[in-house]
Chains A and B, each alone.
Chain A
Amino acid sequence: MSELVVPVVERTPPTPPQAADASVLRLALIGNPNTGKTTLFNALTGLRQRVGNFAGVTVERVEGFFRTASGTRVSCLDLPGSYSLSASSPDEQIALEVLLGRARDGWRPDVVVVVADAVHLERNLYLLSQVLEVGVPVVLALNQMDAAEASGISIDIPELIHELGIPVVPMIAKRGQGIDALGRACETAVTLPAPVRKFALANAVDDALAPIASQLEVAGFKPSAARLEALRLMSVQHAEPHLEHISGLEDVRKQAVTTLAQIGLAPQRLESDARYGWIGEVMARTTSTREQDGRTISDRIDSVALHRVIGPVLFIALMAIVFQSVFTWAAPLQDAIEGGIAALGGIVGGWIPEGELRSLVVDGVFAGVGSVLVFLPQICILFLVIGVLEDSGYMARAAFLMDRVMRRVGLHGRSFIPMLSGYACAVPGIMATRVIENRQDRLATIMVVPLMSCSARLPVYTLLIGSFIPVSTLPLGFGLQGLTLLGMYLLGTLTALGVAAIFKRTLLKGPVRPMILELPSYRWPSLPTLGVTVWQRAMLFVRRAGTVIMSLSIVLWAMATYPRTAPDPLLPEVAQQEQQLEQSVLGRVGKVIEPLVRPLGYDWKIGVSIAASFAAREVFVSTMGTIYGVGGGDDNAAALGERLKAEVDPITGRPVYSTLVALGLMVFYVYALMCVSTTAITVREAGGGRVGWSWAAVQFGYSLVLAYGAAWLVFNVGRALGFGG
């Protein structure tokens, strides 16, 4: 990034904005949740965004780029939604560090844009009043002016500018109104001195806080930022990570708390009293509300959406739509992508002479690309639906309704949607966990999402159920086959809840924080914003998970292909494939692990299929097809089922597959995390790098232990009870 030319430090002579043409203006965007901050960010930057993580934490870092109307290049950092600069969550901690110019990556804002919701200006001014003191020029983007007008709220903008002493830009971000004006305001703001605290504390309080402020100034804080931090430290239990290195700070902090208590003041309410006192005056001078009926439109919607009876019914109906959309609507698109890639592979393969290279291109590269792209429909649809739920305001209501249920296992109401999505596919489900603010809850949810039976397990279930569970009808019209399938889904779901509870009590131990949740006003979601979000998620998946999936697919192809053998040319083609697979690295692995899978009642062929399906579960069926010489593909599933039933153990002469083995195998697949894509996305979403890999390892390890243990139990307990084997 080019060096900054525009000086913005206090008391430095300002440079006119024209001189900044060749440089980049660094803009930090901050605001309360539900203020339309992301909509504004997308309206400013469009698709010119870069998504990553802040160094060392799981907090997502989104940076975008744009040019103002006058040509200034701007790099815009979208800070996590925060109600205050209180550093009580990793998100708020990051926001505070960036604004104080102490971000670990060295990114320092030249100007801060505070996005406020004009309807709830009073509450939004709290964050603004804190940001005014960080020592950087500030612009207030007063968003959702249309909603404020509709609610009978009128705001005197010139008076507000006068009160706050900073540029104020009224906007309707979702319609693009005010975007240019915001750019101009930022260019103006950097030429102005940084704002200062707008209210005065009692002299006694100032005196009590002075030692903290001077300690912080010595540590390099700007004077106004030091005073901000000193006041803020009165309402927290101890100094946060970004202040921990300042020696002696804790002592002066405790001293100040004691001093304040001695003069009869409650330190923890000092900041809110002072700021809301000032805000009350500003509100009285700048806004007027037309007297209205107390019930807003949102309240009326809530009387249905949160109704004791209708609310849960509506919730279940909406969740059914979510589930249906990800599960079924994506299927034709996925088939089209798979078919398209395979056809393309065939065409390209046709240009390459028969041999190693063609096999690599068709079975390795194209199959790898296909296995990445095949997830896109589900990811796009899920994020579209989640976006609608989130932006409309319903997500908070869903979290409210589910809170009591999810809290029993130590999770959060917001864990529900990722877990539900897991039934379709764990990858978008894990990506969806970012709606959960609390890191512990987010990780616990990520850990258990793969236990929800995803659509890739369905081919395994249908093959085994179709072949080994008798078609018999039970009372009330239930079929035994259908019940078995339902049982597999229930087994996964209940285990997921149990495992989450265990994680929350062990590795991810943390207080179950009681619900404090804002129910934002209902709003129409903005299509362009949804579009950008979906695009962003899709690209993120292709770039991050895609590369891992792709390379592992090629590795797996190589393992199933080498070393080459010369199969007997007289045998039919499928038998040649079987021979080749048996001799390949993968086949040998199967033989090696045979003693391991023996206690579960499996032979080496199942071992190979399991080994092959470490990349993706659905490979199990096609590998079995290859091994048993019926070829892969759906058409052969019935033939494969017949073949499996006929298979006998060469030593004992008994059938390899009893109903018990099949059941055990299904249970194995309920638990085992056989999916490279899931592991790849867990690495990313759990924080990337070493942290991400270790969580992915924990996830993979516990799943495998669970799978093996449960399959062993089913097989051996079943046999002990006399159910064949």
Chain B
Amino acid sequence: MSASLPVLQTVPQTDVGLLGAAQPCTLSQCRPGSRATVIGLDDCGTDEACRLRALGLCEGTSVSVIDARHAMVLDVRGTRLALSSAITAGITVQPLPAVRSARG
């Protein structure tokens, strides 16, 4: 229904430095230890997107990938979220250059 509506707010531009301009990808493609900013939750389904937003994972949120296997463990606003691959494949992110600290 409203899943494909255009998003007005743009993602903050990040300095990608030596890595070159990283292309947006799905969260499931990110590696453990990497960081990314969420661009869209549109491919998760409305109910799931609603739950993710309540848990603090919404457009513009920076997340760190702590562990990735059949599911991912993420750092989201200092909390740890475990998301199955069905969810992470539906989240579009802009990869960020690696930073040591997991807390934003």
Contacts and interface: CB of A to CB of B under 8 A. Distances in A.
B87 A83 contact: no
A441 to B, nearest CB: 15
B48 to A, nearest CB: 7
A108 to B, nearest CB: 25
Contact of B87 (A237, A396, A516): A516
Interface string A403-427: 1100000000000000000000000
Contacts of A84: 53-54
Given A119-B78, A266-B5, A514 B87 contact: yes
A261 B5 contact: yes
B70 to A, nearest CB: 5
Nearest to B83: A516
B4 to A, nearest CB: 10
Interface string A481-522: 000000000000000000000000000000001111111110
A272 B77 CA distance: 14
A306 B56 CA distance: 23
Given A294-B64, A400-B82, A519-B81, A273 B2 contact: no
B93 to A, nearest CB: 15
Contact of A514 (B53, B61, B67, B84): B84
A267 interface: yes
A266 B87 contact: no
A257 B9 CA distance: 17
Given A236-B46, A266-B5, A268-B49, A126 B71 contact: no
Interface stretch (A19-27, A38-46, A295-303, A604-612): A295-303
Contacts of A403: 71, 84
Contacts of B8: 264-266
B66 interface: yes
A235 B56 CA distance: 14
Contacts of A594: none
Contacts of B102: 294-295, 299
Contact of B50 (A236, A295, A404): A236
Contacts of A308: 69
B1 interface: yes
Given A294-B101, A514-B87, A519 B73 contact: yes
Nearest to B80: A519
Contacts of B52: 516
A86 interface: yes
B2 A404 contact: no
Contacts of A119: 78
Contacts of A514: 48, 83-84, 86-87
Contact of B71 (A264, A302, A515): A515
B55 A516 contact: yes
Nearest to B3: A268
A295 B100 CA distance: 10
A269 interface: yes
Interface in B3-51: 3, 5-9, 41, 46-51
B81 A291 contact: no
Given A268-B2, A291-B101, A295-B102, A86 B82 contact: no
A659 to B, nearest CB: 45
Contact of B51 (A83, A273, A404): A83
Nearest to B44: A514
A272 B50 CA distance: 9
A591 interface: no
B5 to A, nearest CB: 5
Contacts of B82: 396, 400, 515-519
A518 B58 CA distance: 15
A515 B84 contact: yes
A298 B79 CA distance: 11
A123 interface: yes
Contacts of A268: 2-3, 5, 46, 49-50
A298 B80 contact: yes
Contacts of A267: 2, 5
A399 B84 CA distance: 12
A299 B2 contact: no
A15 interface: no
A292 B75 CA distance: 15
Contacts of B70: 404
Given A119-B78, A514-B84, A519-B80, A302 B73 contact: yes
Nearest to B72: A515
A302 B67 CA distance: 10
A276 B66 contact: no
B58 A276 contact: yes
15 contacts: A84-B53, A127-B54, A235-B46, A268-B46, A268-B49, A268-B50, A269-B53, A272-B58, A276-B58, A299-B66, A403-B71, A404-B71, A514-B86, A516-B84, A518-B80
Interface of B: 1-3, 5-9, 41, 46-56, 58-61, 64, 66-67, 69-71, 73, 75-84, 86-87, 100-103
Closest 6 CB pairs of A and B: A294-B102, A84-B54, A272-B53, A515-B84, A514-B86, A272-B58
